[in-house]
Structure 1
Amino acid sequence: MVNIYLVRHGKTMFNTIGRAQGWSDTPLTAAGEQGIIELGLGFKEKGIKFDRAYSSDSGRTIQTMGFILANSDNEGIPYTYDKRIREWCFGSFDGGYDGELFDGVLPRIFTETGNHHTDEFPPDEVIANAIFEVDTAGWAEPWEKLSGRIMDGFTDIAKESEAKGAKNIVIVSHGMTIGTFVKLAHPELPRPHGLDNGSVTHLSFEDGKFTIGKVGDMSYREIGSEKLAKK
């Protein structure tokens, strides 16, 4: 069985000012770096040794992984980038304000297409296809492509780790991508929303199946924060 520690990257400039990051990228802020240092120290304090590391190929996840490995005494382990576990692409809305996209454009599209949703969070499929329809750059992915690459990416990572005999692996990905993956892996579970930067979602993989544990766990960061406060 492979134990998976799935981390949302540290807080970035765009996260801080409420912009949709997607495939665009900004670096971690000083506070974002601090949060991931706390996470790494929390892993170290709990004695967690990783056999392999994976992240998307976005700068913010690579930067996050560097802080995790350095502060948890896990440097030097095999580390692979996988572009399939990138964030959703918002196309021409990448870099735009979250409110403009999620509170302005998308509700209008739902109304125009007859997809009326009173829920605070419509299904991912509806959101993805709406973004695809209004993206003037032609970069956004329809739901079938988006969901396929996310599920394939995480599944292949888990299978590779299992084949290599890994017991514990760490993956750094993105908020919406992690939420989508959890829902795809276990459709009966609620779709996670609002995952904190530096949070950990626990999973295991065995016999081709994912099991979801605690989602959005902040305990490692809390342990690391306490550790720093004592210095």
Structure 2
Amino acid sequence: MKKNLYLLRHGQTLFNSKHLISGWSDSPLTEKGIEQAKRAGLFFQSKGIHFDHLYCSDLHRAVETSKLVEPNLAPEIKQPLREWFFGYYEAERVAIMPQAPFGDYFCQFGGEAQSTVRTRIFDCIHDIMEQDDTECVLVVSHGRSCKEFYDAVLEEAANPNDKVPGNCGAIHFSYEDGKFSVVDLFTQEDYAQELRLPEID
């Protein structure tokens, strides 16, 4: 049976607005981030997309986003859906980040290796989609973690410099016979167009 996965990044946070590296260092959603999450939920409703399960990272920004996007489901919290841990780079300026791919770069600063991040999020989502009672799932995670899952699905076709959708952007995957395929990507611009709303500044 073909199943559907929607992988969504959390809404804008205070750290995002200040161009700080988040990682495991949590910060609250901004008013813009709250509006982004609400629009994502309205977009899914408008498209007739109904989720039977809702999963999210244990970090506050992902939990709060999940509740705003899908208020009718209690989020099931999974720690492996966390963002990449950047070690001593946490809470520093985004401008000092090296260029991707990061590989093992952050290990020397007490952070995670790229392979660790990719394996933990891919295995977690794979296990979620293997559950018998899942058909259409929403997973709320983080920018770099979403990127690692996306690249794991694309395999050799992945480009480390490509960007995934921004805050509250979503990637739609199909899942069948143990294999994921990319179906579509949705951004805040798509939400505004579908809902006939002005774009968020």
Structure-2-length-normalised TM-score: 0.89
Q: What is the SS of the residue equivalent to 1:87? A: coil
Percent of residue pairs identical:
29
Please state how far the C-alpha of 1:218 moved relative to its aligned partner.
3.9
For the Cα contact (< 8 Å) 1:175–1:194, is it kept in 2? yes
1:13 positional shift? 0.4
Q: RMSD of the alignment, in Å?
A: 2.0
Deviation at 1:128, TM superposition (A): 3.7
Determine helix, strand or coil for the equivalent of 1:19: coil
2-side partners of 1:34 and 1:224: how far apart? 15
- Matched with 2:167 is 197
Q: How far apart, CA to CA, are the structure 1 residues paired with 2:85 and 2:15?
A: 15
Structure 2: which amino acid aligns with 1:210?
F
Give the equivalent residue in structure 1 for 2:155.
187
Mapped to 1, the partners of 2:182 and 2:57 lie a distance apart of 20
Q: Which of the numbers 89, 96, 99 marks the counterpart of 1:93?
A: 89
Asked if 1:141 corresponds to 2:112, the answer is yes
- Asked whether the 8 Å contact 2:66–2:75 carries over to 1, the reply is no
Query: Which one has a bigger Cα radius of gyration?
Result: 1
Residue number in structure 2 paired with 1:118: none
- Tell me the alpha carbon deviations over residues 89-138 of structure 1, each in whole angstroms, 9 at most, x when there is no partner: 011111111112x1xxx4xxxxxxxxxxxxxx432xxx1411111x1xx3
The TM-score normalised by the length of structure 1 is 0.78
Distance (whole Å) between structure 2 residues aligned to residue 5 and residue 145 of structure 1: 22
Tell me if 1:130 matches 2:105.
yes
Deviation per CA, 1:32-74: give whole Å up to 9, x if none.
111111111111122221100011111001000111113xxxx
Counting matched residue pairs gives 196
- Check the 8 A contact 2:146/2:164 in 1, yes or no: no
Structure with more of its chain in helix, by fraction: 1
Aligned partner of 1:112 in structure 2 is none
Query: SS of the residue aligned with 1:214?
Result: strand
Q: 1:172 matched to which residue of 2?
A: 140
- Check conservation: 2:117, 2:145, Cα contact below 8 A: no
What stretches of structure 2 of length at least 5 have no aligned partner?
A: none
8 Å CA contact retained: 1:37, 1:224: no
The answer to whether the aligner puts 1:17 opposite 2:18 as a matched pair is yes
Post-superposition CA distance 1:178-207 (Å, at most 9, x none): 111111122133334253101110101111
Give the letter aligned to residue 90 of structure 1: F
